């Protein structure tokens, strides 16, 4: 809130009326002379914005000359400006009891009541000021009009608030902030058109007004008009230390699906206002969506401290599930369901936690409850099908997958699940139909092509089987099973030489996979030994790993660390270089 608490009466006091004159023509007493000196000193302190010094001087005036109205008025104004509103109100009321027509005291009292959050107490004093200005045929100062408008808005009188803020803006046409506040009053009424006009007018006056860019961005969002994000970015650039702007920009970026850009902005919002539950919650949601759940959980816990917020409880519960902490998640998600029993998402998320704990019957119950609320939700039918399949109830799972496929014909998941179920049931023609439907929608599925090849092999549709298996091998060249199935197809096609070649490839892959598994076991053993300070034994374990698989980067890296501990810097560097050459770029970023 902008407070112009002293401007009006400070100018009037600049001449420093002598307290002796207030007390009559007789010779002033030493106390009055001292009060006069303190009064002058107080005004001088105000002129240099030294409120504490002014307070001391005016307190002396009140003590020495308690019947001098100006002293109470001045002290009241200073106390209010220092934030000691209750004490300031008492002094101002004393001043007005002595001199009811003191407009400076009236103004400061109105502002004091407004500052204390009691606009109903402030409005009569603003009305007195307005009446006096009319009698004296002079306009109210623009600053007073602006405060009057804020008070009316706070009191739930937006229409009169608009009129007063318009008057303030007209009195000070070069003040963009008051146009911005006019727009804010319109926005409170959801009068977006007039709000946008006022914010735009503020920016024509002052293009660098961060809050006007911020308010215009929020208004454009509310109107679903383009340009909102640009305005919020401009506000953020102009006022990077404003937590509210950072939070709004971060939320807008996240809502647009741009979590990577939202993340640093929301981190800044939390840093600027560590106590903000809203900022913590929004950052937690983005971290959760970007699979940074360990960092997200404490932030979501802060938001979920209000146990009556089902959305916060649900998101915290799901983050705990992502972190494989379903036992901790279930009570939160059960609480969310109890708070929002008509919310299908709450039931769905609780079902996901139950599935993680292998409580399939409970999961089915929650998914059926969700479907009662939204019977045409394809994802719910699909999830219910999965839960039923996990409890070996294929007969009931199949209709749920069929319903999901009907409701979402462009989704590959349901026909793929149906294809697997039909394969298990020996319904090969049905399996081929569903797997083909899924692969048309999502061709990048090496396992799907391998499964389809196996189905066609069962149907003795050998050219189709060969084509599907060749695609599986192309997509997943390191998997041995498609080579073996392809070899079986080639045998049926009377191509024994080619079949033998495919079997050899499969054998080589199985051997390589086995060696990689052995290398992983030995390398993990080496890491454990190294942690326990058994460097020589660790080196043996890492060398064993490399004997199984010379291309296992983790073993080279572990050996490098062990050699470094022995002081063999040159050998360690060679091993580290080998590891780097074998690692993917992502793996290289994860290791020094």
Q: What would the two tokens of residue 397 be?
A: 């799972």
The total of structural domains in the chain comes to: 3
Q: Which residue, of 149, 168, 187, is where some domain finishes? A: 168
Please state, in angstroms and rounded to a whole number, the distance separating the CA atoms of residues 347 and 345.
Answer: 5
**Backbone angles phi and psi of 324, in degrees to 5:** 60, 40
Q: Tell whether 179 is covered by a domain.
A: no
Residues 510 and 567 in one domain: no
Residues 452 and 584 in one domain: no
DSSP string, 440-452: HH----HHHHHHH
Residues 49 and 116 in one domain: yes
Residues 409 and 536 in one domain: no
Q: Show Cβ contacts of residue 37 under 8 Å, excluding neighbours closer than 6 positions.
A: none
Residues 446 and 326 in one domain: yes
| Angle of helix 85-98 versus helix 69-81 axis, rounded to 10 | 160
Please state, in angstroms and rounded to a whole number, the distance separating the CA atoms of residues 239 and 584.
Answer: 41
Residues 331 and 381 in one domain: yes
Q: Tell whether 504 is covered by a domain.
A: yes
Q: Which residue, of 521, 550, 575, is where some domain finishes? A: 521
Residues 562 and 444 in one domain: no
Residues 336 and 475 in one domain: yes
Q: Which residue, of 168, 187, 222, is where some domain finishes? A: 168
By the 10 Å C-beta count (0-12 exposed, 13-18 middle, 19+ buried), 274 is classed as: exposed
What pLDDT tens digit does each residue of the chain (592 aa) get? 333 434 434 433 433 344 444 444 456 688 888 988 988 998 899 888 899 999 999 999 989 889 888 888 899 889 988 888 889 889 888 988 998 888 888 888 888 888 888 888 888 888 888 888 888 888 888 888 888 888 888 888 888 999 989 988 888 889 899 899 899 999 988 999 999 999 999 999 999 999 999 999 999 999 889 999 999 999 999 999 999 999 999 999 999 999 999 999 999 999 999 999 999 999 999 999 998 999 999 999 998 887 788 999 999 999 999 999 999 999 999 999 999 999 999 999 999 999 999 999 999 999 999 999 999 999 999 999 999 999 999 999 999 999 999 999 999 999 999 999 999 999 999 999 999 999 999 999 999 999 999 999 999 999 999 999 999 999 999 899 999 999 999 999 999 999 999 999 999 989 988 989 999 999 999 999 999 999 999 999 999 999 999 999 999 999 999 998 888 888 889 888 888 888 765 444 444 4
Q: Tell whether 432 is covered by a domain.
A: yes
Q: What CATH code is carried by the domain that includes residue 336?
A: 1.25.40.10
Q: Tell whether 76 is covered by a domain.
A: yes
Q: What would the two tokens of residue 83 be?
A: 């934030």
pTM score of the predicted model:
0.68
Q: Tell whether 405 is covered by a domain.
A: yes
Q: Tell whether 260 is covered by a domain.
A: no
Residues 64 and 79 in one domain: yes
Q: Show Cβ contacts of residue 325 under 8 Å, excluding neighbours closer than 6 positions.
A: none
Residues 550 and 485 in one domain: no
Q: Tell whether 364 is covered by a domain.
A: yes
Q: Tell whether 227 is covered by a domain.
A: no
> From start to end of 283-385, where are the E strands?
none
Q: What region does 227 belong to: left with phi over 0, alpha with psi -120 to 50, or beta?
A: left
Torsion of CA 308, 309, 310, 316, to 10 degrees: -110
Residues 14 and 45 in one domain: yes
Range of the domain at 499: 293-521
Residues 440 and 580 in one domain: no
The answer to whether 479 touches 452, Cβ cutoff 8 Å, is no
Q: What would the two tokens of residue 563 be?
A: 């050699």
């Amino acid at each position: 809130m902008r407070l112009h608490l002293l401007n009006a009466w400070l100018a009037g006091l600049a001449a420093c009326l002598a307290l002796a004159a207030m007390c009559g023509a007789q010779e002033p007493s030493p106390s009055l002379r001292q009060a006069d000196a303190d009064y002058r000193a107080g005004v001088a302190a105000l002129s240099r914005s030294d409120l504490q010094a002014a307070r001391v001087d005016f307190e002396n005036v009140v003590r020495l000359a308690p019947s001098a109205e100006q002293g109470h008025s001045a002290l009241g104004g200073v106390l209010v400006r220092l934030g000691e509103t209750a004490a300031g109100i008492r002094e101002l009321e004393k001043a007005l009891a002595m001199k009811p027509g003191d407009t400076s005291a009236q103004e400061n009292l109105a502002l004091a009541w407004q500052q204390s959050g009691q606009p109903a107490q402030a409005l009569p004093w603003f009305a007195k000021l307005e009446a006096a200005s009319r009698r004296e045929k002079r306009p109210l100062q623009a600053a007073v009009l602006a405060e009057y408008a804020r008070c009316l808005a706070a009191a739930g009188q937006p229409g009169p608030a608009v009129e007063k803020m318009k008057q303030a803006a007209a009195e000070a046409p070069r003040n963009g902030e008051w146009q911005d506040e006019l727009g804010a009053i319109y926005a409170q009424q959801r009068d977006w058109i007039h709000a946008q006009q006022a914010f735009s007018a503020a920016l024509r006056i002052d293009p660098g007004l961060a809050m006007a860019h911020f308010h215009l961005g929020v208004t454009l969002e509310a109107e679903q008009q383009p340009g909102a994000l640009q305005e919020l970015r401009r506000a953020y650039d102009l006022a990077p230390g404003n937590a509210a702007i950072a939070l709004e920009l971060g939320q807008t970026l996240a809502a647009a699906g741009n979590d990577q850009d939202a993340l640093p902005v929301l981190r800044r919002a939390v840093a600027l206002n560590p106590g903000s539950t809203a900022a913590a919650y929004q950052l937690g949601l983005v971290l959760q969506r970007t699979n940074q759940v360990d960092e997200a959980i404490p932030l979501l816990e802060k938001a979920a401290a209000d146990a009556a917020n089902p959305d916060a409880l649900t998101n915290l519960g799901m983050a705990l599930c992502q972190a494989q902490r379903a036992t901790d998640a279930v009570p939160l998600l059960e609480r969310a369901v109890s708070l929002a029993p008509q919310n299908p998402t709450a039931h769905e998320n609780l079902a996901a936690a139950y599935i993680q704990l292998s409580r399939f019957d409970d999961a089915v119950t929650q998914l059926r409850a969700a479907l009662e609320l939204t019977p045409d939700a394809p994802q719910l039918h699909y999830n219910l099908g999965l839960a039923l399949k996990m409890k070996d109830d294929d007969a009931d799972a199949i209709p749920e997958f069929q319903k999901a496929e009907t409701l979402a014909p462009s989704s590959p998941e349901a026909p793929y699940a149906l294809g697997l179920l039909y394969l298990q049931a020996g319904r090969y023609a049905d399996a081929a139909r569903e797997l083909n439907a899924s692969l048309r929608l999502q061709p990048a599925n090496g396992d799907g092509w391998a499964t389809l090849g196996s189905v066609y092999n069962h149907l003795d549709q050998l050219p189709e089987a060969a084509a599907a298996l060749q695609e599986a091998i192309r997509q997943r060249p390191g998997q041995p099973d498609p080579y073996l199935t392809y070899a079986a197809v080639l045998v049926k096609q009377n191509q024994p030489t080619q079949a033998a070649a495919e079997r050899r490839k499969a054998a080589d892959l199985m051997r390589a996979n086995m060696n990689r598994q052995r290398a992983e076991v030995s390398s993990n053993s080496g890491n454990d030994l190294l942690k326990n300070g058994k460097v020589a034994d660790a080196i043996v374990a890492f060398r064993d790993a490399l004997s199984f698989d010379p291309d296992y980067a983790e073993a080279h890296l572990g050996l490098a660390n062990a050699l470094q501990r022995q002081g063999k810097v040159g050998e360690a560097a060679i091993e580290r270089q080998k590891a780097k050459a074998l690692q993917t770029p992502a793996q290289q970023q994860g290791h020094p």
